[in-house]
């Protein structure tokens, strides 16, 4: 699984962090998404897909 993010699109809602804490974080100054793990282990697949699905800015792409 390969995850990419688009920080320009991100609106800092934090939904990705709530869905998959080990994969996504937020910058302190403006809450913009930070990718902790671009190739998360398979057991996080559901959480990562959930994060991409709830992201209001369509800023997360997941390739299986």
Partner 1 sequence: MTTPIAAYDIARSPGCPFDPAPAMREQSRQAAVSRTRLWDGSTPWLVTGHAEHRQILSDQRVSIQPANGTPRLNPGEAQSTSHAAPSFILLDDPEHARLRRMATGAFTVKRVEALRAPTRRIIESRLDELVAGPNPADLVEAFALPVPSLVISELLGVPYGDHEFFQANSRIIINRNSTGEQRGAAGQALAGYLDGLLGQKLAAPADDMLSALAARVTAGELTRAEAVGMGVLMLFAGHETTANMIALGTLALLEHPEQAALLRDSDDPKVIAGAVDELLRYLTITHGGLRRVALADIELGGETIRAGEGIVVVNETANRDPSVFPDPDSLDLRRDARAHVTFGYGIHQCVGQSLARMELQEAYPALLRRLPTLARAADLDDIPFKHDGFIYGVYRLPVTW
In the complex, the residues that contact ligand SF4 under the rule CB under 6 A are 5, 10-16, 24, 26, 33, 55-57, 59-60
28 touches which of ligand SF4, partner 1, none (CB within 5 to 8 A by kind)?
partner 1
- Of 1 and 34, nearer to partner 1 (C-beta) is 34
Cβ atoms of 53 and 39 closer than 8 Å: no
Task: Kindly report the number of other CB atoms within 10 A of residue 62's CB atom.
Answer: 16
> Which of 2, 38, 56, 61 lies at the binding interface for partner 1 (CB under 8 A)?
56
Minimal CA–CA distance to 23: which of 46, 56, 57, 58? 46
């Amino acid at each position: 699984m390969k995850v990419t993010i688009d920080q320009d699109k991100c609106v800092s809602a934090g939904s990705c962090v709530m869905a998959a804490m080990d994969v996504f974080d937020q910058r302190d100054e403006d809450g913009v998404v930070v990718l902790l793990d671009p190739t998360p282990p398979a057991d996080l697949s559901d959480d990562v897909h959930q994060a991409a699905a709830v992201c209001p800015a369509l800023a997360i792409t997941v390739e299986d």
